[in-house]
Amino acid sequence: MTGPLRGVKVVEMAGLAPAPFGCMILADLGAEVLRVDRGGAPAPGLTPPDGPLDRGKHTIALNVKDPVDRETLYALIEQADVFVEGYRPGVAERLGIGPEDLAARNPRLIYGRMTGWGQDGPLAPRAGHDINYIAISGALDLVGRAGERPVPPGNILGDFAGGGMLLALGVISALYERAQSGKGEVVDAAMVDGSALLTAFMHGMHNVGLWNAPRGENPLDSGAAFYDTYECADGKHVAVGCVEPQFYAQLLTILDIDDPELPSQLDPTGWPRLKEILGAKFKERPRDEWSLLFADSDACVSPVLSPWEAHEHPHNQARNAFIEIDGLRQPAPAPRFTRSPTTTPTGLSKDPEQTRNLLSTWGVPAEAISRITS
């Protein structure tokens, strides 16, 4: 692998969604990621199939409750730059792989902790999922139509944007600081914190009176006619985001709307009427016809594509925004770099020989490598 994190060694304890996503980002950026699967008897619960979140990684299985396997993990930690776990607070300590345990083996280690509620606070020991974390952070209340219930936006805001992405940012920041201090540290990445952070702009808008209406009645949450989605003749949709007056004027021109009695763009009392007018217009043609009509304009109108058809859009094709790994189409690594470009990731490697070669370059003792890959 190449990329700005080339040479960074990461040990990831296998888990669900946010931590694997954060480590996928590190692998995409060139880090060498070794995923440690749980050895011994399988635990109850959901075990996701290997897929995009595991790309660019190697994998081994260790039962850290077993003293021999735990010593093997310690041998890995002594050579690693980063360790990532997604256990509830206190679990890693009980397993003998908490921050103090591993710092004793490697004082320069960056220890990444990915949780929903964080390492402290009254909810820290409780179970939860994305929807719970974004509920108390304020993010969930922002998503939904006027007069309707909040709508969970998949598990994007908590698990990925406010979770794994925050973890990756924290790890990279800690690596930068270590380059100055020479010391490791613990990164406490919590989805409740990260999803709250994503609402910073809305807090600013609220403070100046621009986001005070109920959900679905504000300028950027489907309240405004110029910032919403509209159904087309084929039942598909377009997204309209012409906030600026000059872009809104282009929208009206392409839609052939020339009505001197048209409500003002920025008058909230006229938004329902404007939505009726725009909605009727967009239902006159199918989505892809509208996409062609607006393609060369600044009217800020785009087709609403499913994740499974997004790769077909000409812009995504031109930027190679989607790639195939082992026959599975998925988003390409991002962002992009000029001097240290990333390479196309490979699928999860379970090849013992590749793992032996990797650990040998890490400097892991031969006897530990033999135990890991036997």
Domain residue limits, the chain? 9-198+344-373, 227-315
**Region of poorest pLDDT, from 20-34, 107-121, 324-338, 359-373:** 359-373
Pairing verdict, β 328-331 and 322-325: antiparallel
The predicted-structure confidence for 234-264, as pLDDT tens digits, reads as follows 999 999 999 999 999 999 999 999 998 999 9
pLDDT category, 365, cuts 50, 70, 90?
confident
- The H or E element that residue 20 is part of is helix 18-28
Nearest Cα neighbor of 184 from 113, 118, 111 is 111
Query: Is 58 noted as a catalytic residue in this protein?
Result: no
Buried b / exposed e along 263-274 (16+ C-beta atoms within 10 A): bebeeeeebeeb
> 22-31, 78-87, 351-360: which range is least confident on average?
351-360
CB 37 within 8 A of CB 127: no
Mean pLDDT, range 161-179, rounded to an integer: 98
Q: Is 67 helix (H, G, I), strand (E, B) or coil?
A: helix
Predicted confidence at residue 351, as pLDDT, reads 87
Q: By C-alpha distance, which of 160, 126, 151, 157 is closest to 53?
A: 160
| Structure tokens given for 15 | 């888990």
> Looking at the DSSP assignment, which residues form a beta bridge with residue 103?
none
Are 86 and 167 in contact by the 8 Å Cβ rule? The answer is: no
Catalytic-residue membership of 159: yes
Coil, helix or strand at residue 83: strand
- Write down the mean pLDDT value for the chain: 94
Give the integer Cα–Cα distance in Å for 212 and 356: 58
Length of the chain: 374
Determine the 3-state secondary structure of 249 from DSSP. Answer: helix
* pLDDT > 80? residue 45: no
- pLDDT confidence of residue 373: 79
Contact 30, 101 (CB under 8 A): no
pLDDT digits (tens, 9 = 90+) for 62-95: 999 999 999 999 999 999 999 999 999 999 999 9
* pLDDT above 70: residue 324: yes
Say which of 101, 129, 141, 313 is annotated catalytic: 129
Q: Would you place residue 41 in the very low, low, confident or very high pLDDT band (cuts 50, 70, 90)?
A: low
pLDDT given at position 44: 54
What is the mean predicted confidence (pLDDT) over 347-356? 89
User: How many CA atoms lie less than 13 Å away from 86 in the CB half-sphere?
Assistant: 25
Residue 48 pLDDT > 70, yes or no? no
The CATH code belonging to domain 227-315 is 3.30.1540.10
Q: For residue 178, how far is the Cα from the chain centroid?
A: 25
Q: Give the number of other CB atoms < 10 A from CB of residue 125.
A: 11
User: How large a percentage of the chain has pLDDT more than 90?
Assistant: 88
SS3 258: coil
pTM: 0.94
CB 340 within 8 A of CB 30: yes
| Percent of the chain whose pLDDT exceeds 70 | 97
Q: Which fold has domain 9-198+344-373?
A: Rossmann fold (3.40.50)
For 262-317, the pLDDT digits (tens) are: 999 999 999 999 999 999 999 999 999 999 999 999 999 999 999 999 999 999 99
Q: In this structure, are residues 26 and 342 in contact, taking their beta carbons and an 8 Å threshold?
A: no
Per annotation, catalytic residue among 159, 193, 221, 228: 159
Mean pLDDT of 324-335: 95
**In the numeric block, which tokens belong to residue 67?**
């003293």
CA separation for the pair 291, 298 (Å, rounded): 12
